[in-house]
Amino acid sequence: MGVGGSPQSVIRAARYGLPLMLAVIGGPPIRFAPLVDLYKRALDKYGYPQLRIGMHSHGYVAQTDQEAAEIQWPHWAHIYEGAAAERGWARPSMDRFQAEIDEGSLYLGSPETVATKIAWVIGLLGLSRFDLAYATGRVPHEQKMATIELYGREVIPRVRELLAEPPVDPASVGTHAGAGT
């Protein structure tokens, strides 16, 4: 069951014995850890075994971190401008965009950068699935196809490699998304 982050929706998924898919459109992923814990406790309460937990977040993959940001920024800003007006959020800014890349739930950059961040969040929240909503907004078709290809050919295999390695403390490498490329 897809949930947007309310405790009630997480409990509802557990009550019906459904796997959980967190729809995360922004903010630090760690803020979802209490909801993951709540879901696990609710499954126990309702007599279900532990079930799969996934996450769905926005991202964009390009050859370099800089290229990914340059391509995605205007489209991301356009989409979040509309969301800000509808929901009463602050207007999107380059600083907010960069914060979502660095510490939030925007999986954007080179294949290595994106793979490192995805592997990190999988470990952080104990996820069994990560679903990338690629190319937010009206990114041109050719660029969408390029990000899909990079995600499938480079990011996913690299995530699998990283998850097979012993965990690394993100603080020891400067940021959880790696040094970037």
**Boundaries of every domain in the chain:** 2-167
Q: What was the pLDDT predicted at 57?
A: 95
Give the Cα separation of 146 and 5 in Å (integer): 31
Copy the structure tokens of residue 132: 């990338």
Look up residue 139 and give its DSSP letter: -
- Band of the pLDDT at 92, cuts 50, 70, 90? confident
Give the Cα separation of 150 and 165 in Å (integer): 22
pTM for this entry: 0.86
Q: What was the pLDDT predicted at 169?
A: 60
| pLDDT tens profile 109-152 | 999 999 999 999 999 999 999 999 988 889 999 999 999 999 99
Task: Reply yes or no on whether the pLDDT at 100 is more than 70.
Answer: yes
Torsion of CA 102, 103, 107, 108, to 10 degrees: -10
Q: What was the pLDDT predicted at 90?
A: 83
Topology at the third CATH level for domain 2-167: TIM Barrel (3.20.20)
| pLDDT tens profile 24-76 | 988 999 999 999 999 999 999 999 999 999 999 999 999 999 999 999 999 99
| pLDDT tens profile 1-22 | 667 778 999 999 999 999 999 9
Close Cβ partners of 152 (under 8 Å, ≥ 6 residues apart): none
DSSP output for 40-108: HHHHHHTTPPP--EEEEEEEEE-SSHHHHHHHHHHHHHHHHHHHHHHHTPPPP-HHHHHHHHHTSSEEE
Copy the structure tokens of residue 15: 């009550």
- Residue from 83, 144, 111, 4 nearest 12 by CA: 4
Q: What was the pLDDT predicted at 97?
A: 95
Give the mean model confidence (pLDDT) for residues 158-178: 70
Cβ pair 109, 150 in contact under 8 A:
no
